[in-house]
Amino acid sequence: MLLCIVQFARPWVPGIIKSIMISKVICKRFPAVGISIAKRRRIVQMKCFRLWLCSAVSLVLLLTFSLTALAYPHPGSTVTASELDTIKAKVAAGVSPWKEAYDAMMVDANNGLSVTSHAVAVWNIPGYYADAAGHDAAKALLDKDAAAAYSGALAYRFTGNTAYANKAKELINGWSYTNTAVTGTDGPLASAYLGVGLIQAADLIKDYPGWSSADQTQFKNWITAVWLPKWDSINGRNNWWDWSLFAQLSFYHYTDNSAAFAAEVANLKTQIDTSIDSNGFITEETTRGSNSLWYHYFALSPMTAAAEVVRNATGEDLFNWVSPSGKSIKLALDKLFYYVNGHISEWPYSSNTGYPNTYDSHLYPLNMYEAMGEIYQNTDYDIFVTQYRPVGAVLNGERIHHFAWVYPTLLRALIPVIPGPGYAKVEAESYSGSYKISIAATSDTGGGSMVRSTDNNDYIYFNNLNLGNGTSGFQLRYATPNTDGTVEFRTGSSTGPLLGSLLLPSTGSWSVYNTVNIPVTGASGIKNVFMVFKKATSGSVADINWFSYTTQTLIEAENYSVQSGLSVSATADAGGGSKIGSTDNNDYAGYNNVNFGSGGVSAIEVRYATVNTNGTLEIRSGSPTGTLLGSILLPSTGSWSVFNTVSIPVTGASGVKNVYLVFKKPASGSVADVNWFRF
């Protein structure tokens, strides 16, 4: 830092020195003509004082400016102050999934208030593969403290409650004043991937007045003396070095050490270029046998987190940086994503038998791809994680395993709305997984393949099926001569929540196919959908060619193309967002190019609130006085803050139309506040 200040000040130094020298010359050679010696002395002293004062002030201002210019923004390691402001507003408005993610984080923060320091003077971490129990027990000491400190520091940023900041400070101080050595085979690695949690917590409370400068100096000196040498001692360039880079960049960001930070950025670029091969695999991790897929994630997680620190600190974008040899973080992310997103069986380096077919919110690599969905604005990444939100840290039992992407859903400033597909046709043989079925050619129109051997309790499933804003039914194309077989659609697992089921009528033959509609409820959003076969007697339920569905379209009321007399304000309805109000008699909102599909719709659902019982909502096409599609006298919801959904039967709602919501009321006052409508 001092070197940087000196380099910055160098152009200013000659001028400062010159002013000082001039003052000395004046003191010695000020002309005495016509002026008494005493008066001359006073004048010279005043001029000298002024010049020296100007020089001193210039130097102070220079140093102050230099220090300010070189300081990084805080907080700003993995979340910035402006991002926190955006997220806090969403939480305050109860917007999903931020509110749920915040609630989960606050559970951790409140539990953390009862955590007392587990710091030890000598922290010994034996190698995991030599002593798993000893390794986990030793890691738990720092894991618990770092988790409580980090969640507490975040809770302080959200709530302003100093109890959380004091707990974070207490736990950070506990280690910085107690720990003097890190030993053991896995000491360098564990101190990086757990210790970075303390550094992130420190960044979040760096401006907290209750954390003294003496304590902060002790923290910096402790990391410098005890942990940095361990991180620098790492020789291998596998995931160990990735974690070292993340930890060091986080620390140098916290300490505003721009020279050391720049050196680690250069090392990170070298790591990207040398550790990733031309296909996107991470060379050092391909040799890890049945754990090779996990270690790909375990290398990419700190690498991406380190890139986030760099972007927040300096604005440099390493997420999209491509090395001279064509290597990039995105190349490796997309390679891993292909396999974890339904192609685990194709992983070329091992069977990865431990990788599960179904996920939960704490399973790798969801947390990383939740974060990367925002970084790259990648819809596929978002679809992959949507149904598991709020996504949290990767856990080892009940403890956080490492501190990259701990609260990724909460700390996203933007989560895009993923539109439904409208109409979707899913070939049965394109399943993500199955249990005891087979595939054969179909004799149905169009040819292709079908699923058969669908005995009792057999199933197929489809990961990340996009059901949009909802569908009312699945159209199933099947053949069977039997009358005692049932098809169930479930979510999550073969025994998960039931969406709908149907006892299949006989089609008369295994070669004759019919299409039947299976009504469903709760079929919305991104879900893993299971098709489960049930039959009281032996034999196959049916041969399945495909199923299809049509998703609803939801239009936010405030997203009108044209309006008259309306206002827009925040809504108290579930999910937050905005609504339209001030809907007096003959006011309207128009929406251009609404696509009802070639088959049309028979009803439009409207989400509204009103205390009145004499207001009518008309739905028209073309203009506010155009063709009436449907209307309803809106029942009172009991309060302007209580929203209900009403279904309005419509006729002629097909194709693409400009649609108008027109409000009618015989007396003065608003008809209703409207949140959205869908069909």
CB 534 within 8 A of CB 502: no
- 121: β partners: none
Residue 452 pairs in a beta bridge with 438
* pLDDT of 45: 52
The token pair at 537 is: 């007697």
pTM of the model: 0.77
Local confidence band at 26 (pLDDT 50, 70, 90 cut-offs)? very low
Give buried/exposed letters for 51-70 (b at 16+ CB in 10 A, else e): beeebeeeeeebeeebeeee
What residues does 473 pair with on adjacent strands?
Answer: 519
Sheet holding 485-491, edge to edge: 433-435, 459-466, 526-535, 485-491, 498-503
Lowest average pLDDT, out of 91-105, 111-125, 567-581, goes to: 567-581
Q: How does pLDDT run across 346-375, given as a tens digit for each residue? A: 999 987 766 766 688 999 999 999 999 999
What pLDDT, on the 0 to 100 scale, is given for residue 430?
A: 95
Cα torsion at 286, 287, 289, 290 (round to 10°)? Answer: -30
Which amino acid is located at 483 in the chain?
Answer: T
- The DSSP letter of residue 654 is -
In this prediction, residue 50 carries a pLDDT of 53
- Residue 430 is classified by DSSP as G
The CA distance from 631 to 650, in Å, is 8
Dihedral over Cα of 220, 223, 229, 235: its sign: negative
- In 3D, which of 625, 607, 628, 598 has the Cα closest to residue 672? 607
Which of the four pLDDT bands, split at 50, 70 and 90, describes residue 293? very high
For CA atoms 671, 675, 676, 677, the dihedral sign is negative
Q: Of 61, 67, 54, which is closest to residue 22 (Cα–Cα)?
A: 54
- The yes-or-no verdict on residue 23 having pLDDT over 50 is no
Residue 22: pLDDT above 60?
Answer: no
Judged against a pLDDT cut of 70, whether residue 41 lies above it is answered with: no
The pLDDT of residue 598 is above 80:
no
Q: Do 147 and 399 contact (CB within 8 A), yes or no?
A: yes
- Above 70 in pLDDT, residue 584? yes
pLDDT band at 345 (very low <50, low <70, confident <90, very high): confident
Six-digit token pair at 49? 């004082």
Q: Provide the pLDDT for residue 449.
A: 97
pLDDT, position 482: 97
Please write the tens of the pLDDT for every residue from 520-548: 999 999 999 999 999 999 999 999 999 99
Closest CA to 227 of 255, 251, 260: 251
Q: Is the dihedral of CA 374, 376, 377, 381 positive or negative?
A: negative
Query: Which residue, chain included where needed, has tokens 């907080």?
Result: 75
For residues 83 and 411, is the Cβ–Cβ distance under 8 A? yes
What pLDDT was estimated at residue 43?
47
Q: Where are the alpha helices (DSSP H) in 276-416?
A: 292-314, 329-340, 366-376, 379-386
Kind of pairing between the strands at 616-621 and 627-633: antiparallel
Q: What is the pLDDT of residue 527?
A: 94
d(CA 22, CA 343): 78
Could you report the per-residue pLDDT of 154-194, keeping only the tens digit for each? 999 999 999 999 999 999 999 999 999 999 999 999 999 99
Cβ 497 vs Cβ 511: under 8 Å: no
Phi and psi torsions of 100, nearest 5°: -65, -40
412-418 LR contacts (CB < 8 Å, sep 24+): 412/87, 412/370, 412/371, 412/373, 412/374, 413/83, 413/86, 413/87, 413/374, 414/374, 415/97, 415/373, 415/374, 415/382, 416/377, 416/379, 416/382, 418/379, 418/382, 418/383, 418/386, 418/466, 418/468, 418/526
Q: Which three-class secondary structure string do you get for 219-273?
A: HHHHHHHHHHHHHHCCCCCCHHHHHHHHHHHHHHHHCCCHHHHHHHHHHHHHHHH
Which two three-digit tokens encode residue 418?
């993923």
